[in-house]
Amino acid sequence: MSTLEAIGGAAASGTLYGIGVGPGDVRYMTLRAASLVGAVDVIAYFAKAGREGHARRIVAPLMASDRPEEKLEYPVTDEFPVADPRYHEPIAEFYREAAERLAKHLAAGRSVGLLAEGDPFFFGSFMHMWHRLADRFPVEVVPGVTGMSGCWTRANTPITWGDDTLTVLAGTLDEAVLTRRLQDTEAAVIMKVGRNLAKVRRAVEAARCLDRAIYIERGTMEGERIVPLSEMTDPSGPYFAIVLVPGRGRRL
């Protein structure tokens, strides 16, 4: 048994594992997560149709070539707003079917490791499986380093000092709501920036925090880019894009 297996532990039959794979760099995975990738009977992951899947790519160096895999391909991603029936109807049906695919393995006694970027319980699709399966099968969630944590680390920027309040916002929010929330906090993380980049930038500027806001795409991954938001004139960014507004609280 390797040191990783001895410390990281084994997988139990018929158990669903939500495996947090961290922000992108495989070296930021926990020992438990890395060990489970090698130990579970089936590896499952979400992916945009026709793509490899970000979480699957992160764990590629740890994967055994003969490990059975369940690729769960989203029927839609960001083509329509979340409230649009063209988004939520197919996606609800997809989650139902995906949960049943995983349930078949679990009912047959196989352990399933469902990969989740960052932390599974932080804006993760894993939660839609947890919600459907946790009362039917044993579930263990392995926490992961969140994308935002990887990003502020790579930007070499402390995010909160002293009594600072940190607000986590979704870039999909309405511009006026974003502005108001930013005005009302000391530090902020804006997730899901991608297609919302121009709107996010306007809100950050209106809230008078553009001078300290940082734009990061693909933090800790290949193709990482870290620039002051004030220099970002592109109308949109990739899926993995985040904006940080560091706090300026008490410094001793």
Ligand X SMILES: C[S@@+](CC[C@H](N)C(=O)[O-])C[C@H]1O[C@@H](n2cnc3c(N)ncnc32)[C@H](O)[C@@H]1O
We find the least distance from the C-beta atom of residue 87 to ligand X, in angstroms, to be: 14
Stretch of 8-16, 206-214, 228-236, 239-247 contacting ligand X, by CB under 6 A: 239-247
Q: Considering beta carbons, is residue 11 or 216 the nearer one to ligand X?
A: 216
Minimal CA–CA distance to 246: which of 222, 219, 212, 218?
A: 212
Give the CB-side neighbour count of residue 200, counting CA atoms within 13 A.
30
The count of residues in the chain is: 252
Under the criterion CB under 6 A, does residue 169 sit at the interface with ligand X? no
Q: DSSP letters along 74-121, please?
A: ES-SSSS-TTSHHHHHHHHHHHHHHHHHHHHHHHTT--EEEEESB-TT
Under the criterion CB under 6 A, does residue 193 sit at the interface with ligand X? yes
- Max CA pair span of the chain: 57
Q: Which of 147, 159, 188, 246 binds ligand X (CB under 6 A)?
A: 147
Under the criterion CB under 6 A, does residue 219 sit at the interface with ligand X? yes
Q: Considering beta carbons, is residue 110 or 192 the nearer one to ligand X?
A: 192
Contact 137, 109 (CB under 8 A): no
Under the criterion CB under 6 A, does residue 241 sit at the interface with ligand X? yes
We find the least distance from the C-beta atom of residue 18 to ligand X, in angstroms, to be: 10
Residues in region 5-34 near ligand X by CB under 6 A:
23-24
Minimal CA–CA distance to 165: which of 250, 96, 62, 79?
A: 250
* Phi and psi at residue 50, to the nearest 5°: 80, 0
Under the criterion CB under 6 A, does residue 242 sit at the interface with ligand X? yes
Q: Which of 91, 172, 240, 246 binds ligand X (CB under 6 A)?
A: 240
Site residues, ligand X (CB under 6 A): 23-24, 116-119, 122-124, 146-147, 150-151, 191-194, 216-221, 239-242
